[in-house]
Structure 1
Amino acid sequence: MSRLVVISNRVSAPTGEGGAGAQGGLAVALGAALREYRGLWFGWSGHRTDEFTGHIELQRAHGVTTATIDLEDQDVDEYYNGYANRTLWPLFHYRIDLAEYDRSFDSGYQRVNERFAETVTPLIDQDDLVWVHDYHLIPLGAELRARGLKNRIGFFLHIPWPPGRLLVSLPDHQKLVRSLLAYDLIGFQTREWLEAFRDYVVRELGGNLDADGTLHVGDRTVHVAAYPIGIDYDDFMEASRSPLAHQACNRLRESAADRKVIIGVDRLDYSKGLQERFTGYQRFLENNPDRHGELFMLQIAPPTREEVSTYEEIRDNLDGLSGRINGAFAEIDWVPVRYVNQGYDRASLAGFYRAAQIALITPLRDGMNLVAKEYVAAQDPDDPGVLILSRFAGAALQLKDALLVNPYSADEVSDAIKTALEMPREERIRRWRSMMESVRDEDVVKWRHDFVAALEGARIREPEPPPEGK
């Protein structure tokens, strides 16, 4: 079996006991893949340096070898805070009103991708499989090809791919998409994002699509497919049975004092629909005064991308909105919203999920959403909770027995909360069993096996013919 080289924007070495600690779903998934394939994980350390030198820090922990580089302040400002998170992130989440187009962002994005390619190329052996991740590194495949790599190289996008009518608002959108054609395999979370990419390539670049999902554009051939990501099921279930998880579950149950708990766990990001969620819960309280005191909403929302001004505005808005809800409805012995701006390790979250009768997961647009799957996995089979899930999350295509809602509709969210509270135990069990089957069978192991197997089967690029006369 070939070695696997994973390249992503950030590298998070696994923390060992209790799963991946406070790491996100991508870090958990890649750590598991690298342990299985004995590979190398390359990316940015998250640290800054006065001058980029290309120095690589190699470490090995918990079965994973990592190779990291530091970036200059200008790199972080233009590549990460700029093009990645102020241009591509909002655009790919359908928020063109928030997307910022600045040539310095574009140049910084290209420069860092070139630096990644220049630095990682000497680490890649001839037979390695190379797996590049996410919107930060779209041009990386083309940069690796420019440095002579003939390896099989795959790319996976963890966020949505926007429809063509939105993508064309991006300056040099054709240049960005053409750089993707340097990969042998491109993966998306859902068929919706896959079809949006195919449509763009056919309409804007004159591509042709084969029945097996292979795209042809000029002399370029690339296979594209959907590979929905899942949770690391076995690892999560182990974490959910840990003493830390039991402690967290008991802690929340005791503090709830027999009240029902609605839980939401999201990064503090406008794509997660947090303001709309709070508004939907507020509508429920307005429409159901007889339910006051019977339940509360626990929203865990650790800050993210704090150097981007848009995220400061989100935090300010949610601080105000949670305060207004509590001010309007709270009693001496009851507060309807518990709003927490800190992260928790996965074992503790598993305990919180199990203690909550309802999960309210309502992103406005999301590539997958692994929190929804973790909530399902954490439930008591004899008395499971109810998942309320946005129909705009990728997970909605797999978790069809959740209560699917339009997060923009406060009334729809309110009605779903009431339905969940009144749902008979037999129906909750039936819905949970169906979703649990999907979570168990469509886990991260299947995701990485399917993608890597497809990448292993990708054609090997022949060396470019030398120029005439040489």
Structure 2
Amino acid sequence: MSRLIVVSNRVPVPKGGQPPAGGLAVALSGAMEERGGVWFGWSGDTARHDEASEVRTLERGKVTYALVDLSQRDLEDYYAGFSNRMLWPLFHYRMDLTDFTRVTLGGYYRVNRLFAKLLAPMVEADDVVWIHDYHLIPLANELRQAGVRCRIGFFLHIPFPPPDILTVLPNHADLVRGLAAYDVIGFQTPLDVENFETYLRREKVGRRMSDGRFVIHGRAVRVEAWPVGIETKAFADIAAKSDDNTLVQRMDESLVGKSLIIGVDRLDYSKGIAERMLAFQSFLTLDTEARGKVTYLQVTPKSRSEVAEYAAMEKEVAELAGRVNGQHADLDWTPIRYVNRTVGRNALAGLYRLARVGLVTPLRDGMNLVAKEFVAAQKPDDPGVLLLSRFAGAAAELDGALITNPYDIDGTAGAISRALEMPLDERLDRWRRMYERIAEHDVAWWCRSFLDALEAAPSNGASAEPQLKAAS
């Protein structure tokens, strides 16, 4: 079995002898433990010099964590700049928030070249390399130029936008040309694949072939949707044992006579948190009998505080929660409980289980694993209702959710009322369909399916037009 090399912007190094937290990290670590592997990427630390030139390694079992420090300049240009002020908003359809400069573009390619320079000597001929997310799109091409010829795969965890949006990016052609250096490209949903194919066809740089693969700039590449899953069974077990959690107990005691609605999101403009609060406000205005009987808990850890847009959003959401509470609160009832910090995984599973409604209403999301966690955490004999945005990737899988348009404030308010009033038999039917889906297509399935495809891909590191007929 070939060795696996995982590359991500940030490396989740285990601490205190414990495995990395989070389903994705656990699944990838499990795959590397099985075959032996390397996890390469940014350490999270800032280098003392202008440019990092060394790799620090930590051995944990059969996994080597290869860590690179980045300079302050690299962080500003590559990470805070081009990755998170250009690619992130653009790929989430927010052209109004994009900020393109040649300086940050240069930093983006500079760090990808640095990663390739440091990683290439570590790669052996029969390795497979799996690169993750929008920060590192050009990395395979840089590795190819450094002489790496093994199989290289890429997975995009965020949406891939349609060509009318992608072509706003001045270097869109170079970015897509970089994707041609991969052997396998994974997206979250069939819509992402469709958007990618439409771009190739419209820009005349690729086409789908008769065997289902794509030819892109002269290379045959397998492109498919592999929706990311969660550790479904493990998360369900955690939720089932959450009664002993102190935070969950306190929350439960505070809810006597009230139904809980829960939202859990990073503080990000793509998550639709402000629109969700406005919908809850509309619900309280339209359904006066619900006042005093429903509590909405919004858990929102801070995110990317160094980016100005996020700091402004933090102020906006906090003020909005205050306005809603000021308008509707009573002496013994606070409509919105807004928690601006991280809540532990065990407690979070218990809070999902207490909730009658899970509000997952992003304006745009690649997948959204909160939706799947909410489903996994429910009581099998008395499940809550998932209210899910049509613009979340998870909506393509979770057909038992109430699908809503987060831009339709009153429509979302009506969906909240319907969710709270839904009879048990309908809740059970909807929940069972969703749970079966996420139990079968969990994070281990996702990891295994992608790696099977990458292992099976022809090793064609050099560019060559494949002798295959184009699909009609």
Deviation at 1:244, TM superposition (A): 8.0
The range that moved more, 413-422 or 137-146, is 413-422
Q: Which residue of 2 aligns with 1:191?
A: 190
Q: Which residue of 2 aligns with 1:341?
A: 340
Q: CA RMSD in A?
A: 1.9
**1:82-137: CA deviations, max 9, x gaps?**
00000000000000000001000100000000011111112212111100000000
Paired letter, 2:438: V
Q: Secondary structure at the match of 1:131?
A: strand
**1:288-324: CA deviations, max 9, x gaps?**
1111000110000001111000001111110110000
The range that moved more, 10-19 or 401-410, is 10-19
Deviation at 1:40, TM superposition (A): 1.3
* Contact 1:230 1:442 (8 Å CA) reproduced: yes
Q: Secondary structure at the match of 2:43?
A: strand
**1:172-229: CA deviations, max 9, x gaps?**
2101110110000101000000110111112213322114331113422211111011
After superposition, residues 80-159 of structure 1 pair within 5 angstroms as 80-159=79-158
Deviation at 1:408, TM superposition (A): 0.5
Distance 1:463 1:363, change over 3 A: closer
Question: How many percent identity over aligned positions?
Answer: 49
Q: Secondary structure at the match of 2:96?
A: coil
After superposition, residues 23-38 of structure 1 pair within 5 angstroms as 23=22, 26-38=24-36
Deviation at 1:54, TM superposition (A): 2.3
Q: 5+ unaligned residues in a row in structure 2: which ranges?
A: 465-472
Structure-2 separation of matches of 1:169 and 1:464: 28
After superposition, residues 292-371 of structure 1 pair within 5 angstroms as 292-371=291-370
Q: Which residue of 2 aligns with 1:161?
A: 160
Q: Which residue of 1 aligns with 2:43?
A: 45
**1:420-451: CA deviations, max 9, x gaps?**
11111111111110100011011111111111
Q: Secondary structure at the match of 2:327?
A: helix
Q: Secondary structure at the match of 2:147?
A: coil
Q: Which residue of 2 aligns with 1:6?
A: 6
Paired letter, 2:32: L
The range that moved more, 53-62 or 2-11, is 53-62
Paired letter, 2:42: W
**1:18-40: CA deviations, max 9, x gaps?**
9754x5x5434433433344321
Deviation at 1:409, TM superposition (A): 0.6
* Contact 1:245 1:349 (8 Å CA) reproduced: no
Q: TM-score of the superposition, structure 2-length normalised?
A: 0.94
Structure-2 separation of matches of 1:464 and 1:420: 53
Q: Which residue of 1 aligns with 2:251?
A: 252
* Contact 1:18 1:346 (8 Å CA) reproduced: no
The range that moved more, 437-446 or 229-238, is 229-238
Deviation at 1:333, TM superposition (A): 0.2
Q: Which residue of 1 aligns with 2:467?
A: none
* Contact 1:259 1:293 (8 Å CA) reproduced: yes
Paired letter, 2:48: D
Deviation at 1:63, TM superposition (A): 6.2
Q: Secondary structure at the match of 1:13?
A: coil
Q: TM-score of the superposition, structure 1-length normalised?
A: 0.95
Structure-2 separation of matches of 1:121 and 1:202: 33
Distance 1:283 1:83, change over 3 A: same
Q: 5+ unaligned residues in a row in structure 1: which ranges?
A: 466-470
